Amino acid sequence: MAVISMTTGAAEARRETFGTLADGTKVDAVTLSNSHGMSARIIALGASLQSLMAPDRHGKFANITLGYAKLDSYVQKPQYFGATVGRYANRIAKGHFVLDGHGYDVPINDKPNSLHGGTRGFDKVVWAIGDVKHDAGKASVSLSYVSPDGDMGYPGKLTITATYTLDDSNRLSIEYRATTDKPTIVNLSNHAYWNLAGEGSGSVMEQRLTISADAYLPVSDSLIPTGEIRNVAGTVFDFRKAKPIGADVRHGDEPQLLFGHGYDHNWVISRSAASTPRMVAKVEDPVSGRVLTLSSTQPGLQFYSGNFLDGTTVGTGGRVYRQGDAFALEPQLYPDTPNQPAFGSARLAPGQEYRNLIVYEFTTQKL
């Protein structure tokens, strides 16, 4: 884990080459920084957050999101680090759904299901970098991708933009927008893995999590929601009051934890999307004092406790990532919504616009 002191200055956006793919495609990176020295680096492969430098309570900076130092690692061992996931984030049961009376099959890449758009989801394509801007108070970059009709089996040409903005209030926002030329399904999210003590520093199990939800979605042994919406009261899924991530993760009498090797479930924030972001989760690290507050417009929040990090991945700072060394919080629609009408709708029609606004706010707590 690299920890460094940083000087402050005006907001800035800087573009550079991150690497080159085997076919000769250049992959650029844009680093956004604010006047407090905080910075976020976004790479065009997967419109991914590659690093996020944030201060602790003593003003020391560390990279608090998991990733790779080199492009080759993203290609050779993709793990969704910081990536934009879609066309449908999370799982679709058996890789099949029906839309407007027509059946569609999408690639199965997670047990019997399709996960995060299939074998070549949006995390594995190179996005076009558009506007790179900065002024006195914020810096931003917009990336775009056009997914053709039939891409990974999904209908409709989908045109997507992902805009990252870092402001002087130490907030990083990601806004996803999408339009289509014929009816399709859409569910986009960001799959950043976080460790508020610094990537590669060890377990996050003592970091304290709050999730603003009274219910969650139980899953089958293949991690597809059963259709039940279950109250969190009296369960290991109750994070309405802050508690360590690992406080209940070893409860062997809870089959839901056995299915996911820990937490890999969707919490019910609301029954429909909101027009403006509201607070959905907060994580506090008692050691560093870093606090992450997450806001979103989406009705669901997938919380994943880093269950499948297995000690075979060397991260950005040269340290190995092991089980429980990070957590992911992914605002989104409920998993498998296209097959479960009671969950709402993932349908996007021509003339409509899909939108997901995610805001990560970084603060510190005193001892």
Tens digits of per-residue pLDDT, 236-287? 999 999 999 999 999 999 999 999 999 999 999 998 888 899 999 999 999 9
pLDDT at 21 over 90: yes
Query: How many other C-beta atoms are found inside a 10 Å radius of the C-beta of residue 274?
Result: 15
Residue type for position 174: I
Tens digits of per-residue pLDDT, 351-367? 999 999 999 999 999 98
191 a catalytic residue: yes
pLDDT at 7 over 50: no
51, 200 Cβ separation under 8 angstroms: no
DSSP state of 225: B
Q: Which residue in 266, 257, 259, 262 sits closest to 216, CA to CA?
A: 266
Q: Which residue in 363, 2, 344, 42 sits closest to 190, CA to CA?
A: 42
pLDDT at 294 over 60: yes
Q: Which residue in 212, 196, 175 sits closest to 327, CA to CA?
A: 196
Give residue limits of the domains in the chain.
3-364
Taking the C-alpha atoms of 123, 276, 352 and 99 in order, what is their torsion angle to the nearest 10 degrees?
A: 60
Residue 8 burial (CB < 10 Å; 0-12/13-18/19+)?
Answer: exposed
Tens digits of per-residue pLDDT, 24-35? 999 999 999 999
Q: Which residue in 118, 164, 158 sits closest to 142, CA to CA?
A: 164
Mean pLDDT to the nearest integer, 16-29: 98
pLDDT at 331 over 80: yes
**Model pTM?**
0.96
From 175, 199, 284, 330, the catalytic residue:
330
For residue 344, the model assigns a pLDDT of: 96
Domain covering 3-364 in this structure, CATH number: 2.70.98.10
From 175, 191, 199, 284, the catalytic residue:
191
Tens digits of per-residue pLDDT, 115-124? 999 999 999 9
The rounded radius of gyration (Å) of the Cα atoms in the chain is 19
Q: In whole angstroms, what is the distance from residue 16 CA to residue 11 CA?
A: 17
Mean pLDDT to the nearest integer, 17-21: 98
Give the mean pLDDT of the chain.
96
330 a catalytic residue: yes
